[in-house]
């Protein structure tokens, strides 16, 4: 069985959406808090017979930002934020905390569902892009990146990364000694046009990535910053 989880409190359209998703073979779970969503998501993702398609947060109903980063750490599936009125600062904060998408409601439920499906398909395409070096393990000092399955190790310790964090280190490791610009990394990882606000999203993601790599017993600061340009894995 495939599920989606919607975090919302007051939506009168919940049952309408559940019915439309059910027609597509996806069962909806509606919960009022992020804590309950995490519990449900972890149960589904730990199952061998069930799959979590996505988690959506109805922004007007939920004060989600304080817990969004924690949800991102616990959930592998795409996290989508549905806003009634788009807010640039909120969008930046949501993407920085780990959301995969932040967007406005469409005119009709069917249009909303089609948008969600398009976003998820876009994420899957980026994850499955054919690449001659996709199966090649990448090593720098004691940092190992294994693209298939998507794993990162510092020494003997496996480092748990979000999708965005893995994609950043994988992209850098495939281009040792080359400075990748903020624009190149953002478009590669998030798959959308680079804007001024996107720099904060990227900086925050790289900061979290660095902290995780440094925290390992044999960890170090593997990523070199080129001020106002981008990042690179330096040649030894």
CB 106 within 8 A of CB 201: no
Give Cα 166 to chain centroid, integer Å.
10
Confidence at residue 228, expressed as pLDDT on a 0 to 100 scale: 84
Q: Which of 154, 156, 157 is nearest to 144 (CA)?
A: 154
Highest mean pLDDT among 19-23, 92-96, 133-137, 143-147: 19-23
pLDDT tens digit string along 40-78?
998 998 887 889 999 999 888 788 888 888 888 888 889
* Residue 68: CATH number of its domain: 3.40.50.2300
Long-range contacts of the stretch 91-96 (C-beta < 8 A, 24+): 91/197, 92/197, 92/200, 92/201, 93/65, 94/64, 94/65, 94/68, 95/190, 95/198, 95/201, 96/200, 96/201, 96/204, 96/205
Which residue(s) pair with 56 in the sheet?
6, 80
User: Does residue 214 share a domain with residue 155?
Assistant: yes
Confidence at residue 135, expressed as pLDDT on a 0 to 100 scale: 56
| pTM exceeds cut of 0.75 | no
Domain coverage including residue 113: 2-127
User: Does residue 70 share a domain with residue 38?
Assistant: yes
Confidence at residue 134, expressed as pLDDT on a 0 to 100 scale: 47
DSSP 59: T
* Residue 222: CATH number of its domain: 1.10.10.10
User: Does residue 77 share a domain with residue 146?
Assistant: no
What does the DSSP assignment read for 98-158? T-SEEEE--SSHHHHHHHHHHHHHHHHHHHT---TTTT--EEETTEEEETTTTEEEETTEE
Max CA-CA distance within the chain?
A: 59
Asked if residue 174 belongs to a domain, the reply is yes
CB 35 within 8 A of CB 62: no
Q: What integer is the mean pLDDT of 97-112?
A: 87
User: Does residue 223 share a domain with residue 189?
Assistant: yes
| Torsion angles phi and psi, residue 57, rounded to 5 | -125, 120
Round to whole Å and give the CA distance between 120 and 77: 9
Highest mean pLDDT among 118-132, 172-186, 194-208: 172-186
Round to whole Å and give the CA distance between 230 and 174: 15
Dihedral sign from CA coordinates of 65, 66, 68, 72:
positive
Alpha helices in the chain (DSSP H): 14-23, 34-46, 65-74, 88-97, 109-127, 163-173, 182-190, 196-215
User: Does residue 109 share a domain with residue 9?
Assistant: yes
Round to whole Å and give the CA distance between 217 and 116: 40
CB 133 within 8 A of CB 174: yes
Overall domain count for the chain: 2
pLDDT tens digit string along 183-214?
899 988 887 777 767 788 899 999 999 999 99
């Amino acid at each position: 069985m495939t599920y989606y989880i919607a975090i919302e409190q007051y939506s009168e359209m919940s049952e309408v959406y559940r019915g439309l998703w059910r027609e597509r073979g996806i069962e909806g779970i509606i919960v009022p808090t992020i804590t309950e969503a995490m519990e449900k998501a972890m149960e589904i993702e730990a199952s061998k017979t069930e799959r979590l398609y996505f988690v959506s947060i109805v922004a007007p109903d939920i004060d989600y930002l304080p817990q969004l980063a924690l949800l991102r750490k616990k959930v592998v599936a795409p996290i989508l934020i549905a806003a009634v009125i788009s807010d640039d600062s909120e969008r930046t904060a949501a993407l920085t905390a780990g959301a995969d998408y932040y967007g406005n409601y469409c005119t009709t439920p069917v249009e909303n569902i089609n948008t969600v499906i398009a976003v998820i398909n876009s994420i899957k395409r980026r994850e499955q892009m054919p690449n001659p070096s996709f199966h090649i393990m990448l090593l720098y000092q004691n940092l190992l990146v294994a693209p298939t399955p998507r794993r990162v190790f510092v020494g003997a310790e496996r480092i748990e990364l979000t999708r965005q964090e893995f994609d950043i280190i994988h992209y850098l490791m495939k281009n040792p000694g080359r400075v990748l610009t903020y624009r190149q990394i953002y478009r590669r990882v998030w798959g959308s046009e680079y804007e001024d606000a996107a720099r904060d999203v990227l900086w925050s993601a790289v900061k979290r990535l660095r902290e995780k790599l440094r925290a390992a017993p044999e960890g170090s600061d593997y990523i070199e910053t080129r001020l106002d340009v981008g990042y690179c894995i330096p040649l030894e």
